[in-house]
A and B are shown apart, each in its own frame.
Chain A
Amino acid sequence: MRILWLLGEWALTSLRDGGRMMIFLGTALCWIFLPPLKWRRMIARIHFIGAKSLLVILLTGAFTGMVLGLQVFYTLTKFGSEAFLGPAVALTLIRELGPVLCALMVTGRAGSALTAEIGIMRITEQIDALHVMALNPMRYLVVPTILAGLIAFPLLTAIFDLVGIYGGYLVGVKLLGIGEGTYFGEMETYVGLGDITQGILKSLSFGLLVTWVCCYKGFYTGYGAEGVSRATTEAVVLSSVLILVWDYFVGSVLL
């Protein structure tokens, strides 16, 4: 009996939290289309999510490309088709690893900080202060962040892909001796616009997903320092899990 009761309670809590998250997203999306937009805050957010993540993205992008170059080369040698290293690296990056790894890295670097910042604003009553000044916190905090995510994620992903392709080039061409023409030539043949569109669509949806989850968790943070730390952890875990789950579904629909 007790197990049933616990199960019921868990289901109700999850349902309530899920519903609240969806309402939060719906409200935020409505506010995106209601002018005026807070341009300066949005640019500050793009700087925070985008420009400040650049170093991390450059580093992870380069090494992901290099690892891919190495491992894919090793696999392709078994079939005697090393010539396809270029398209293999590029397609893996553009369709899959670029958007996903980029989103995971930005969640760790910027998403956690967003949750902590909004969470601290909540517990120090700064969000209440906005309310009592008759200023909508959605407009001031959430909308600029979501828009910044939608702009920054695809750009970061593009940089990640490009750097990764050159990482693969470094290993494949410079170290393992594939011809430069083969590497890029085959890439040109096999990578289509559809692959690039899919990558961009994924990164756009991740931009929305990460900023939504992180803003939500900060907005409804618990009490005190412990509340903020829990919200931050939950934001990162939930974002990361949702990125991978969503990636699978988007991939299977768009394939």
Chain B
Amino acid sequence: MSGPMVEMRNVHKSFGGQQVLRGLDLQVTQGEILVIIGRSGGGKSVLLKHLMGLLKPDQGQIVINGQEISRLRGRELDQLRERFGVVFQGGALFDSLTVFENVAFPLREKTRLPEEAIREKALTLLKQVGLADMGHKYPAEVSGGMRKRVALARALTMEPEVVLFDEPTTGLDPIMVNAIHRLILDLHRRVGFTAIMVSHEIPEIFGIADRVAMLHRGAVVEAGTPEAIQASANPVVRQFITGDPEGPIQPD
């Protein structure tokens, strides 16, 4: 396939006079894992919400597989969303459903598969994320790490082409962070989706990313391989990955 799978061109977005995205350009190639880093409140979640079609850009274009999506509505938007899987920051699991029902939910609602096939598929997914025996529990009864894994399993049920991760490891202990990263890598290898991940986990993300993009003040300041980013001469990138409180990025 020619051209990038996902492309954002000169995207601007502001909320009540506050500019969050200022001419953002980003390209994602099919099959890669792109990790977006940047400060909290720097527009990373807003960027993901644009890709999910939950927000519309004030200006600029978002192109997915050659289709401009920012003006899509109704059924066309639904068809696009069916090609996406999303792992939300807090998991966004439905609290009134069990872990198993959460994973089976998209299948039950979006397909006409018989119950037997749904069971089998949901159980396979739960097994892949190591939670085969947790299906009967409610989201409130399992740990934060498990919730993230359930969210990952649910995001993969409809076999999406693109999976968006909104801080999939925030708030977890270092062992769990690496376990989730390994799980994502493993599933990526097996299923072959394109992954766009927002994360704060430096340096761990350098181990799983194919490319890293640094977002600062609503625009991508640098994007490249993990090695290139780690060796970057850009003072903003340098300060962010070393975590130095002194530098061009000022703490609030």
Contacts and interface: CB of A to CB of B under 8 A. Distances in A.
Interface of A: 120-121, 124-126, 128-129, 131-135
A125 B48 CA distance: 13
Given A131-B81, A134-B81, A125 B110 contact: no
Contact of B52 (A121, A131, A135): A131
A125 B95 CA distance: 12
A117 to B, nearest CB: 9
Contacts of A128: 49, 52, 54, 88, 92
A132 B94 contact: no
B106 A132 contact: no
A134 B80 CA distance: 9
B130 to A, nearest CB: 22
B82 A134 contact: yes
A39 to B, nearest CB: 13
Nearest to A133: B106
Contact of B81 (A120, A125, A126, A132): A132
* Shortest 10 CB-CB contacts between residues of A and residues of B: A134-B78, A125-B92, A129-B92, A134-B81, A125-B88, A132-B86, A132-B52, A126-B92, A134-B82, A133-B106
B12 to A, nearest CB: 22
Given A128-B52, A134-B79, 18 more contacts: A125-B88, A125-B92, A126-B92, A126-B93, A126-B94, A128-B49, A128-B54, A128-B92, A129-B92, A129-B94, A132-B84, A132-B86, A133-B81, A133-B105, A133-B109, A133-B110, A133-B158, A135-B110
B90 A125 contact: yes
B109 A124 contact: no
A6 to B, nearest CB: 18
Nearest to B49: A128
B165 to A, nearest CB: 13
B98 interface: no
B30 interface: no
Interface of B: 49, 52-54, 77-79, 81-82, 84, 86, 88-90, 92-95, 105-106, 109-110, 158
Q: Is chain A's binding surface mostly helix, strand, loop or mixed? A: helix
Count chain B CB atoms within 10 A of each CB in A120, A124, A134 and give the residue with the most: A134
A129 B52 CA distance: 10
22 contacts: A120-B95, A124-B90, A125-B89, A125-B90, A125-B92, A126-B93, A126-B95, A128-B49, A128-B52, A128-B92, A131-B52, A131-B53, A131-B81, A132-B52, A132-B81, A132-B84, A133-B110, A133-B158, A134-B77, A134-B81, A134-B82, A135-B109
B111 to A, nearest CB: 12
B110 A132 contact: no
A128 B81 CA distance: 12
Contacts of A133: 81, 105-106, 109-110, 158
Nearest to B166: A125
A5 to B, nearest CB: 18
Contacts of B77: 134
B156 to A, nearest CB: 12
A129 B82 CA distance: 12
A176 to B, nearest CB: 49
A84 B52 CA distance: 66
A129 B90 contact: no
A125 B88 CA distance: 7
A126 B52 CA distance: 14
Contacts of B52: 128, 131-132
A121 B52 CA distance: 18
A124 B79 CA distance: 24
Nearest to B75: A134
A42 to B, nearest CB: 14
A132 B110 CA distance: 12
A126 B94 CA distance: 6
Nearest to A135: B109
A131 B54 contact: yes
A133 B155 CA distance: 9
Contacts of A125: 88-90, 92
A135 B93 CA distance: 14
Contacts of A120: 95
Contacts of B109: 133, 135
Contacts of B53: 131-132
A134 to B, nearest CB: 4
A121 B96 CA distance: 10
A129 B88 CA distance: 8
Contacts of B92: 124-126, 128-129
A185 to B, nearest CB: 50
B64 to A, nearest CB: 14
